[in-house]
Amino acid sequence: MPRMISQDDIETRRKRLHFRARRRGFKEVDLIFGAFADEYLSGLDAAGLDDFEALLAAPDQDVYGWLQDHGPVPAAFDTAVFAQVKAICRRASPTWTV
């Protein structure tokens, strides 16, 4: 019988992802992912959390390049979550929290 995922498990995962989003080591990506996490992480379902976790596992330089249109986004990362992250970068007056 499959284990049911509790709301506490999901919240623990969100907290872990929020922490990872701000501490990747590449300041620009930390700020972008941190802003995304602050705004959208609480509303992501399990699939969205999976997509965000995959982005967090991708190399910083690659993610930054994709966000700046310096190369094509691989299909595995070209998700609705990536589109939301990229939209944060395109804002006229983004607010970055350090």
List pLDDT tens digits, range 2-39.
Answer: 555 666 688 899 999 999 999 888 888 999 999 999 99
Q: Kindly report the pTM of this predicted structure.
A: 0.84
The Cα-based distances of 80 to 11, 37, 52, 83, 98 in angstroms read 21, 14, 10, 5, 25
pLDDT for res 10: 84
DSSP-based three-state secondary structure for 5: coil
* Averaged pLDDT for residues 77-89: 94
